Amino acid sequence: MGNMAGYDIPQISMYLDYMNVMSYDFYSLADGFTRHHSPLFAGPSDFGNHLFFTSNYSMSTWRDSGAPAEKLLMGIAAYGRTFTLTSATNNGVAAPTSGVGEPGLYTGEGGFWSYYEVCYNVPLQDRHWSEGQEVPYGSAGTTWVGFDNPDSVEAKVNY
């Protein structure tokens, strides 16, 4: 395998102390449905190219292309990506969306909430765990948010 889209991984690995691997922001509004932006693994609703939009795939690809595992650092998102649901009652993973979520009170950017905004806006009973993906998501009215929490960060660190 050795090469990956213009990189000679074994060669550059000899000169680097570590490599930061972006393993978040895999999904965007253009998809038209909710998806976690930083899943550890593919989930039951993933299909086609969506099977590759995971932290596991990113890390494995670099490792399998010749990067020493001990030099790979997984990026972990400390924020959530929000979407506006087309229906407040259809609020799981892969639910239809009509746009980005409302801006956070403090961050002020549509489609983005800081972790403390997630904690402030999403009641505990409306937070869920995406089995298979090993990440949480939640909803507040018609706003859906995928985020990382201590449990998902622990799963990624243990990975």
Q: Domain holding 146: CATH number?
A: 3.10.50.10
Identify the domain boundary among 74, 100, 117.
74
Contact 111, 81 (CB under 8 A): yes
Domain boundary among 46, 74, 102: 74
Residues 122, 63 share a domain = no
**Whole-prediction pTM value?**
0.90
Three-class secondary structure of residue 156 per DSSP: helix
Same domain, 41 and 83: no
Quote the pLDDT of residue 30.
72
What's the pLDDT at 6?
Answer: 83
The sign of the dihedral angle between the CA atoms of 151, 152, 157, 159 is positive
Q: What is the pLDDT, as a whole number, of residue 49? A: 87
Structural domain harbouring 68: 3-74
Is there a single domain that holds both residue 152 and residue 125? yes
Structure tokens at 62: 């670099």
**pLDDT over 70 at 47, yes or no:** yes
Token couple for 106: 């403090």
How far, in Å, CA of 52 to CA of 145, rounded? 21
154 and 85, same domain (yes or no) = yes
Helix (H) or strand (E) holding 81: strand 79-85
69 & 140 share domain: no
Written as one letter, the residue type at 81 is: R
Same domain, 63 and 91: no
Is residue 4 over pLDDT 90? no
- The pLDDT tens digits of the residues spanning 64-91 come to 999 999 999 999 999 999 999 999 999 9
Predicted confidence at residue 3, as pLDDT, reads 42
Please give the average per-residue pLDDT across 38-49, as a whole number: 92
**Mean per-residue pLDDT, 104-127:** 95
Same domain, 86 and 148: yes
Closest CA to 152 of 54, 21, 85: 54
Q: Are both 54 and 83 inside the same structural domain? A: no
Q: What is the Cα–Cα distance from 54 to 56, expressed in whole angstroms? A: 5
Pair (58, 84) in one structural domain:
no
Final residue in a domain of this structure, among 12, 42, 74: 74
Structural domain count of the chain: 2
